[in-house]
Amino acid sequence: MDDLYRENLMDHYRHPRNHGTLEHPDCEAEGKNPLCGDEVELDVEVVDGRINAIRFTGNGCAVSQAATSMLTDLVQGLPVAEAAALPSQAIIDELGIPLSAMRVKCAVLGLGTLKVALHRGVGTPLPPEWGADDDEMVWG
Amino acid sequence: MTGATPQELDPTRIRADFPIFARQVHGQDLVYLDSASTSQKPQAMLDAMVGFYSTSNANVHRGVYTLGVESTDAYEAARDAVARLINAPSRREVVFTRNTTEALNLVAKTVGVERCGPGDVIVSTVLEHHANLVPWQVLAQATGATLRFLDVDDEGRLQLDELDAIAREGNVRIVAVTHQSNTLGVRPPVEELVRWARAQGALVVLDAAQTVPNRPVDVQALDVDFLAFSGHKTLAPTGIGVLWGREAILAETQPFLTGGEMIRSVALDRTSWNTLPWKFEAGTPAFAEAVGLHAAIDYLEAVGLDAIDAHEHAITEYALGRLDEVTGLRIVGPPDAAARGGVVSFVLDDVHPHDIAEILDRHAVCVRAGHHCTQPLMQRLGHAATVRASFYLYTTTAEIDRLIDGLHDVRRVMGV
Ligand SMILES: Cc1ncc(COP(=O)(O)O)c(C=O)c1O
């Protein structure tokens, strides 16, 4: 019955990868979903146009936190342009669980925060649907 | 309704009247603990609407033909049923709206705009649903009036000690308060607030969305000026709600929406308004939904609102006792069943309420997780979100037991 809370997800939730902060990040941002109180803060270090290090801290539901943990694994070492272009589906696939529309917001909070951080820090393009604060996602 | 001990209600028999309880979710019997959000519907209500559409459907207040007369009669009979339910002195005081939200907006955008200006004070509370908060915020911004909120203590009990200070700030025009918090279940001391408002010459607007469904509500005994509730929380369909307001006030207030139905005569350069209550009902009303509301009221009255209140109290007491057994669970709101209705909010260690609700769903247990449209209250109490279980006349102790089993599973899955 635990198809949502399967082991991989719970493992990332309980033991988040790349958890913490960086002393001198090149890119940083925080993302919040005020509707459910999920929060993520991301620090990224860029070397030679690639993500050399990434750390996050956060608070919220298992889906939002595990998805951000998986994301940090996924983008480690990627060229920033590639990381910034990562589609939501990449994270949803990574989670590998059925998600209702409401939970998709939780799943992509970390990804949105990463896109905002890279845009601010190294000027990667930010599609409008990720840039503007709407009533569900707020970037800080 | 008499003062006698209410006939005890048998929720198991009542459930047989609600077709949805035949349904299974994830292969298990449905446990519906979200009635504060919207109620389930009895077959009698569904039959009444199907019957109406099948035999009498025609627009109201227009047709001279038989069907039009029947539908008008049915619509207006629903108004009489509402007037009886809330003990309104007159049917002219019962205005049909879409829901509580529209009813409260109607008051803010008509009476509110006419009576508030700079130097005036509007009083509300941090307990309010956004529906009884945002309209007053907008009104204050539009008129230059000051909006003040009464605070609560850490368990959500309304504090009245600011009232004297507020009274010195200006002319208090409107006091808008909830009859019962939809998030915590607390029932604020409305009587005291009404006495204070009377002394200030202020109007009282009561949000009764959470109490009309489950206990006797008497607008004359309450001595308020406006009262709002939603059909969909009251066993009735969506799309219909009620604003009750004092005739003397409504009569001298300009209309809310304008158009058909609410007019007496229209010329190209001027229009005269219809009499009450139709002056406030622009356009084709939700007459089939009114028929449903009528059937729902008949159902509630047959069961007895005293009995429903007593049942909810007993279930809440049982639920609070059983929730207390769950390690790491903390009630948000008063920990006892006194002075509260059938709504319980809680958090469980640091497990996010959405995770709790999602795991409970796997057990076919429906609860609400989030801020429950009361963001200022959540902020005041220091929670981003809570889980809320709410009860009604069909809630059984067996359902509470399923909730508790589900919560133990939440602890297991989340590893707390
Ligand atoms: C106390 C309270 N007020 C107002 C509302 C708004 O009701 P509606 O959405 O039917 O307009 C609700 C419904 O959640 C409520 O519980």
Residue A128 lies in a domain: no
Return the pLDDT at B2: 43
- CA dihedral of residues A130, A133, A138, A139 (deg, nearest 10): 60
Q: What are phi and psi of B217, to 5 degrees?
A: -125, 125
| Number of other residues whose CB lies within 10 A of the CB of residue A125 | 12
Higher pLDDT among residues A126 and B345, named by residue: B345
Cα–Cα distance for residue pair B351/B102, rounded to 1 Å: 35
* Residue in B385, B387, B354, B356 with CA at minimum distance from that of residue A104: B354
Return the pLDDT at A4: 63
Return the pLDDT at B8: 86
Residue A64 lies in a domain: yes
Return the pLDDT at A127: 83
Domain that holds residue A100: 7-123
Can you tell me which residue has the tokens 């059925």? A98
**pLDDT tens sequence across B53-73:** 999 999 999 878 999 999 999
Question: How many angstroms separate the alpha carbon of residue B181 from the centre of ligand 1?
Answer: 10
Residue A110 lies in a domain: yes
Residue A93 lies in a domain: yes
DSSP code of residue A79:
B
Determine, for residues B358 and A103 on separate chains, whether the beta-carbon distance falls below 8 Å.
Answer: yes
**pLDDT tens sequence across B249-288:** 999 999 999 999 899 999 999 999 999 999 999 999 999 9
Whether B25 and chain A come into contact, CB under 8 Å, resolves to: no
DSSP character string of B313-377? HHHHHHHHHHHTTSTTEEEES-SSSTTB-SEEEEEETTB-HHHHHHHHHHTTEE-EEE-TT-HHH
Give me the sheet containing B368-370, strands edge to edge: B329-332, B343-348, B386-390, B368-370
Chain A residues in contact with B355 by the CB 8 A cut-off are 5, 61-63
Determine, for residues B413 and A36 on separate chains, whether the beta-carbon distance falls below 8 Å.
Answer: no
Given a cut of 80, is residue B117 above it in pLDDT? yes
Return the pLDDT at B384: 86
Residue A28 lies in a domain: yes
The count of domains in chain A is: 1
Cβ contacts of residue A61 below 8 Å, gap of 6+? A36, A38, A106, B352, B353, B354, B355
Cα–Cα distance for residue pair B278/B91, rounded to 1 Å: 11
Cα–Cα distance for residue pair B211/B309, rounded to 1 Å: 9
CATH code, domain carrying A38: 3.90.1010.10
Helix, strand, or coil here: A48? coil
Return the pLDDT at B63: 77
**pLDDT tens sequence across B285-324:** 999 999 999 999 999 999 999 999 999 999 999 999 999 9
Residue A138 lies in a domain: no
Residue A56 lies in a domain: yes
User: Which domains can be identified in chain B, with CATH numbers?
Assistant: 11-32+304-414 (3.90.1150.10), 47-301 (3.40.640.10)
Determine, for residues A36 and B352 on separate chains, whether the beta-carbon distance falls below 8 Å.
Answer: yes
DSSP code of residue B253:
S
Residue A133 lies in a domain: no
Asked which of A21-25, B63-67, B169-173, B306-310 is least confident by mean pLDDT, the reply is: B63-67
What's the mean per-residue pLDDT of chain B? 96
